[in-house]
Amino acid sequence: MAATQMLAGFHAVIARLRQAPDSIREIYVEAQRRDKRMQTFIEQATQAGRAVHPVGADRLDGLAGGSRHQGVVAVADARKLADDLDEVLDDLDGPAFLLVLDGVTDPHNLGACLRTADAAGVHAVVAPRDRAVGLNTTVQRVACGAAESVPYVMVTNLARTMRDLKDRDIWLVGTDDQAPQGIHQTDGRRPMAWVMGAEGEGMRRLTRETCDELVHIPMLGSVESLNVSVATAVCLYETVRQRRA
């Protein structure tokens, strides 16, 4: 039997209904919630041929494993958008646009990074297996459906994967507060990957050394650093700005 995963919240479940409705096995909704948003959701699920089961809030809390669920939880087949990074890169038409996250362990940060990556048109997000959060229920909810559209590829050896990207002529740009040049001075029009460090710790030494270029985000106020998901958004949209110019 295929592995399953829990999807919690309206956005995560609706995204799966749109992308792969047949992968959803069961949908549970809070029996006491009868507002317009819930009624619209139930209509969407029914039109997609999925049965909806009203249950108590305690049952939903247990299914969601502590994640906020908004009264909606689905049991679905675990779905991978890509088995490996080569599969993604071999199918590209234009210059590669990737995001490498070195050890992001907070599911809220990962969910926010995935959401921004989807909005910016990133082809895939890459992370190490040993120091990163997987696509758990909280990530799926915070990502608001982006986990259904942006491949999240977890690799055994991040430094080796980065070297493989360099062999494909993909430029690796890391962020470092001490770097002499800013993000606006890098060329985002070429095939590239932004490399972001973990919350509080930044990039590991080997990750930093493997980057082709290090840049800083200009900080003009009293705050010394940005949350990794905010910093990711700033960097990704610098590439979007340059490619659309």
pLDDT in the model for residue 1: 47
Integer CA distances (angstroms), 199 to 107, 174, 205, 238, in order: 11, 15, 15, 21
Question: What 8-state DSSP symbol labels residue 245?
Answer: -
**96-107, pLDDT tens digit by residue?**
999 999 988 898
3-state percent breakdown (helix, strand, coil) of the chain, nearest 5: 40, 20, 40
Whichever domain contains 11, its CATH number is 3.30.1330.30
135 pLDDT band, cuts 50/70/90, is: confident
pLDDT above 60: residue 181 = yes
CA 72 remoteness from chain centre: 21
Q: Which of 77, 99, 128 is the last residue of a domain?
A: 77
∠ CA 175-178-182, rounded to 5° = 55
Out of 77, 94, 124, a domain closes at 77
**Domain, as residue range, for 70:** 4-77
Strand order in the sheet with 192-197: 152-155, 124-128, 97-102, 192-197, 171-175, 213-215
Clarify whether residues 65 and 169 are in a common domain: no
Question: Do 127 and 192 sit in the same domain of this protein?
Answer: yes
Mean pLDDT for the stretch of residues 79-83: 67
> Smallest Cα–Cα separation from 69: which of 16, 24, 7?
7
Lowest mean pLDDT among 29-43, 74-88, 171-185, 200-214: 74-88
- 153 in the Ramachandran plot: left (φ > 0), alpha (ψ -120 to 50) or beta? beta
Residues 146 and 205 in one domain: yes
| Residue 113 and residue 25 in one domain | no
Q: Please indicate, yes or no, whether residues 32 and 144 belong to a single structural domain of this protein.
A: no
CATH of the domain at 101: 3.40.1280.10
Among 141, 237, 147, smallest CA distance to 188 is for 237
pTM for this one?
Answer: 0.75
CB 186 within 8 A of CB 213: yes
